[in-house]
Amino acid sequence: KAGVTQTPRYLIKTRGQQVTLSCSPISGHRSVSWYQQTPGQGLQFLFEYFSETQRNKGNFPGRFSGRQFSNSRSEMNVSTLELGDSALYLCASSWTGGSSYEQYFGPGTRLTVT
C-alpha cells in the first residue's frame, strides 16, 4: 500500500497571503488529522476529518480551516498568513474502524512565511 502523501513539500509565502496544503491518506483510511510542528512545541493538533466531517478541532484561530473530499483526500487552508505560521504541517491518516487507532504520518509540508 502506498503511504500518506502530502503536496507540496515546500512552500514560501508572504505575510497576508493564503495557502492550501493537500494530503492523500493511505487507501482505505477514512480519517485525516492535521498537525503543526514547530521546534520545542511538538505536534500541535489542528483538526481531524472523518467521512468528510470535522470530528475534532484543536485550539487554532479560524484562519486555519480544512475539508475532506469523498475520496478521503483532505486539504488544509491558512488565510492571512502570519510569520508565526512558519512550521512543518503534517497530516496523518487512520482507519478508525473497530479498535484500530493507529495513525500514519505523511512527510509534511514545510511552510515558510516571509
Distance, CA of 93 to CA of 104 (rounded, Å): 5
In angstroms, give the least distance from the CB of 82 to other proteins: 22
Distance, CA of 107 to CA of 84 (rounded, Å): 21
Distance, CA of 58 to CA of 83 (rounded, Å): 20
Which of 13, 20, 22, 45 touches other proteins by CB under 8 A? 45
Distance, CA of 56 to CA of 94 (rounded, Å): 14
Which of 41, 62, 83, 84 touches other proteins by CB under 8 A? 41
Distance, CA of 90 to CA of 66 (rounded, Å): 13
In angstroms, give the least distance from the CB of 80 to other proteins: 25
Query: Residue 82 or 102: which CB sits closer to other proteins?
Result: 102
53 binds other proteins (CB under 8 A): no
Contact residues: other proteins, CB under 8 A = 33, 35, 40-43, 45, 48, 50, 55-56, 58, 90, 94, 96-108
